[in-house]
Chains A and B, each alone.
Chain A
Amino acid sequence: MRLYEHEGKELLRRQGIPVPDGTVVTDPDVVDWLPDDFFPAMVKAQALVGGRGKAGGIVRVENQSAARRETERILKSRIHGYEVPKVLIERAMRPERELYLAVTIDRTRHEFVIIGGSLGGMDVEQASREHPEAFHRIWLRPDQEVEPYMGRELAHRLGFRGEMLNKLSDVVVRLFRAFKAVEGKLCEINPLGVLPDGNLVALDARFNIDTDALFRHPELKELGIEGARHEEGELTPNEQRARAAGFPYVELDGDIGTFPGGAGFGIAAIDLIHIYGGHAANFMDSGGAPSQDKLRSMLGLLLGDPKVKVIFGARFGGISRCDDWAKAVVQFVQENRPKKPFIMRMTGNMEEEGRRILEEAKAKDPELFRNIKVYPYSTPIEEVVKEAIEVAKGKGVV
């Protein structure tokens, strides 16, 4: 889960890494309270998406009236389609040079890695391709603590000597501690500015933390950092409803709603629908052993989404049992009397019981279940995908 820049900077500040003086603003009137000597300043859109600068979301202002004007403009704007709920206004810094510094997880070695680059700023990926010699890495085993010598080693390799070597080394150690403290997936300072007096300052902060570890970080909750965000951008209304109901949901632009069971088949279903000529409306994941409430809210989202023409469903019961799934589907259909067709398949653990539940409901009200098809084990899943595509195109049985 990605954090806003200002949240990341607060976490850096708490570890003793210098950041520019600044304030977070959601109301342009607040800008009038900034003293004249605060300027020149940077007005920075706070959005959970990259490329803010190139999209006009980061500007330098020389005085209060310009700050107010830009704050109003940015708060009303969208960055790559994402709303900007707040801006960060900071004292402008004049760095002599810009460095790159990050800590992340090396998923090939299964270790932590500190990356330092003597070429920071925008286009750092291009810089790393053109000048790989400017980037250096220090790996730490998962049970290893960061030691000052590691910071010195990295600073030395980046070409720093004398007092600067110690200053950079100190920031390296503190950044690693910040990363460990929040259980990060990524903590990146880009750029890390070198000021004329030799001091270092974090001019940006990008944190991505492990949502699964949030339960043991009350200090993050106090900062307003809770488990309800994408890696990039905020959630769409459907995605918010899904999050509130406790399942991941990604909005897509097709017309086949997918109710796929686990995440793995959810991803595969999007591929299969595409390969056989259709378009998926969403990705979602019930997780293991979902409650019937959760299953019904998953179906409710698809039923309520006007772009969805047909609901493709699949349950291969492992930890998630077919009988629970069938009960949820039956109750949902009885309560909502959907007009949209359901083209589904159910097999796996407790399949016989699940099928009995479906058949009994159907016998009671055949008309209601006329458009609800649930194929068994012997019908390969790709045949069910193909039928859903035909139905979405207005062909087929319904």
Chain B
Amino acid sequence: MAILIKKGTSTMVQGITGKNATTHTKFMLDYGTKIVAGTTPGKAGQSVHGVPVYDTVQEAMDNHPDIVVSSVWVPARATRDAVLETIEAGVRTIVVITETIPIHDMLLVRKRAKERGTTIVGGNTSGVISPGRSMVGMLPVRTFTPGRVGVVTRSGSLLYYVANYLDLAGMGESTAVGLGGDPVVGTNFEDILRMFESDPETDCVVMHGEIGGVLEEVAAPYIKQMRKPVIAYITGRFAPAGKRMGHAGALIEGDMGTAESKLKALRAGGAHIAETISDIPRLVKELT
């Protein structure tokens, strides 16, 4: 089972002729990800590592109606356009690798995705992996091992370090997901926690949150309803004093956004708190 991507999931790479996308298309193919199409406007007819390139997402879909996942590698200023095009073409899951997407663009894209029932992971995500089956993004695959822990992190590098610690302790992941580091992202913790809760191959979930935003706080009530244990690791406890956004931030978000508020909410939701990364495998062993 796993979540979001499975063995043989047909995927597409948008912006495939770019330098990074080309490199990581090779890495994804080597890992066994089934990439059936790529797009770059104006470059139809080319191929990248044997993957045919199309001008439009619709053209790719017409030729490969089995596409359900796309990864987006286009420049930040072209991302709104690329993602809206992909939502309209009916792709179910869109993994947005691109970083520094304008916030107002992302709010609009997110809204359109919710209306159409599309899942957007990112922007600024390093990707999604169901170890041993498929990887979409730019993850260092060696550190991810098949297993029964669901992992979801705000930060890409923390995704790698958590998997690294699980691997060194002899454990692995059902699926690992980077939510993305941009200020507004398409999917929040609760969305992913719900998927893990109903995934028969996941026994427990490790979530990494960090200071800023309210994604951790708003997930806490759902954690309370979950049957599966959740281990939470929050970074930024000793980061320099936060940059408050005027009074409006406080008027809307109250005291949310700090490490203390996240830890308090997650504890109240029944999450098990890891103080360091090395606490995580220990807690997983205790709880499963």
Contacts and interface: CB of A to CB of B under 8 A. Distances in A.
Nearest to B236: A267
Contact of B103 (A124, A137, A141, A212): A212
A252 B104 CA distance: 32
Interface stretch (B35-43, B59-67, B87-95, B270-278): B270-278
A142 B110 contact: yes
Contact of B238 (A107, A188, A274): A274
B252 A380 contact: no
A172 to B, nearest CB: 14
B53 interface: no
A254 to B, nearest CB: 10
B246 to A, nearest CB: 5
Interface stretch (B135-143, B197-205, B220-228): B135-143
A271 B251 contact: no
A271 B277 CA distance: 11
Contacts of B164: 316, 347, 377, 380-381
A295 interface: no
A382 B277 contact: yes
Residue in A100, A115, A185, A206 whose Cβ sees the most chain B Cβ within 10 Å? A185
A351 B154 CA distance: 24
Contacts, number: 201
A283 B238 CA distance: 11
A321 B277 CA distance: 23
B285 interface: no
A398 interface: no
A185 B108 contact: no
Interface in A9-35: none
A124 B249 CA distance: 12
Interface in A33-55: 50
A336 B208 CA distance: 37
B interface bracket (residues with beta carbon within 8 Å of A): 35 or more
A186 interface: yes
A138 interface: no
Contacts of B160: 316, 318, 348
Contact of A265 (B76, B124, B138, B158): B158
B237 A348 contact: no
Contacts of A124: 247, 251
A316 B161 contact: yes
A143 interface: yes
A125 B251 contact: yes
Interface stretch (A84-92, A256-264, A358-366, A387-395): A256-264
A208 B164 CA distance: 38
A272 interface: yes
A268 B158 contact: yes
A211 B168 CA distance: 40
Contacts of B245: 104, 185-186, 208, 231
A213 B214 CA distance: 22
A348 B277 contact: no
A348 B156 CA distance: 12
A190 interface: yes
Nearest to A383: B278
A267 B276 contact: no
Contacts of B276: 272, 275, 382
A398 to B, nearest CB: 24
Contacts of A272: 276-277
Interface in B208-267: 210-211, 213-214, 218, 235-240, 243-253
A260 B275 CA distance: 19
Interface string B144-156: 0000000001111
A216 B107 contact: no
Interface in B99-121: 99-105, 107-108, 110-112
Nearest to B127: A318
B161 A265 contact: yes
Interface string A289-309: 100000000000000000000
Nearest to B114: A110
Contacts of A215: 77
Given A107-B184, A267-B211, A377-B164, A142 B143 contact: no
B181 interface: yes
B247 A230 contact: no
A61 interface: no
A377 B16 CA distance: 30
B126 interface: yes
Interface string A321-339: 1000000000000000000
Nearest to A289: B20
Contact of A378 (B111, B153, B168, B247): B168
Given A289-B20, A347-B140, A142 B107 contact: yes
Contacts of B100: 212
13 contacts: A105-B184, A107-B214, A186-B249, A212-B101, A213-B103, A230-B243, A252-B240, A262-B155, A267-B211, A271-B239, A318-B139, A348-B142, A381-B277
Interface of A: 50, 100, 102-108, 110-113, 115, 117, 124-125, 128, 135, 137, 141-143, 180, 183, 185-186, 188, 190, 206, 208, 210, 212-213, 215-216, 230-232, 250, 252, 260-265, 267-268, 270-272, 274-275, 283, 287-289, 316-319, 321, 347-349, 351, 377-378, 380-382
User: 6 closest A-B pairs (Cβ-Cβ)?
Assistant: A264-B155, A348-B140, A231-B243, A213-B102, A265-B157, A142-B107
Given A210-B103, A232-B243, 20 more contacts: A100-B247, A102-B251, A104-B252, A107-B253, A183-B104, A250-B240, A252-B240, A264-B153, A268-B155, A268-B158, A274-B237, A289-B20, A316-B157, A318-B127, A318-B139, A318-B157, A347-B140, A351-B140, A380-B277, A381-B161
